[in-house]
Amino acid sequence: MIGSDGAQLGIMPASKALSLAESANLDLVKIAPQAQPPVCKIMDYGKYRFEQAKREKEARKNQRTVDIKEVRLSLNIDTHDFNTKLNHTQRFIASGDKVKVSIRFRGREMGHSELGIEIMKKFAEACQEFAVVEKPAKLEGRTMLMFLAPKGNK
């Protein structure tokens, strides 16, 4: 038995513990029901639940969800377009999001998947200073995918 101030009150029958809690106008709560004998504490259960909900809300407010943004490249991308996509990726990574880089192969482009790998390698090298390759380029059906993550989250 633990008192409302945190002091040990010792082992006592449940009826006596309940009468002590009622006399203090508080609740008797089982802290460890599996223990032998079970451990109980005298506390204001409503106040305890309120503080617990408050702590959970604060924890949810502080956590950050990581979004996955997608950048699509093409097999015959030009320098300016490449740099534009690179700038978008840099902005996404700076805001803490992961980036999925994809190249979609259309028609006869499927026969030249090695060109897609070269573009992906070039893109990964350009992103090397602010991002790390989380999943290297891999061909899945008609799409080649690569995942980049912020450098701090390894």
Distance CA 49, CA 111 (A): 63
pLDDT band at 3 (very low <50, low <70, confident <90, very high): confident
The partner residues of 146 in beta bridges, in order of sequence, read 101
Domain ranges for the chain, please list them: 14-61, 68-150
CATH of the domain spanning 68-150: 3.30.110.10
Global pTM exceeds 0.95: no
What pLDDT shows up at residue 153?
Answer: 52
Start-to-end C-alpha separation, the chain: 47
Which residue carries 């079970």 as its tokens?
38
- Percent over 70 (pLDDT), the chain: 99
What pLDDT shows up at residue 91?
Answer: 94
Q: Are 88 and 99 in contact (CB under 8 A)?
A: no
Which secondary structure element, helix H or strand E, spans residue 3, and what is its range?
none
Architecture of domain 14-61: Roll (3.10)
- Quick: pLDDT tens for 46-82: 998 999 999 999 888 887 777 899 999 999 999 999 9
Alpha helices (H) along 13-145: 14-23, 45-62, 79-94, 113-126
What pLDDT shows up at residue 1?
Answer: 84
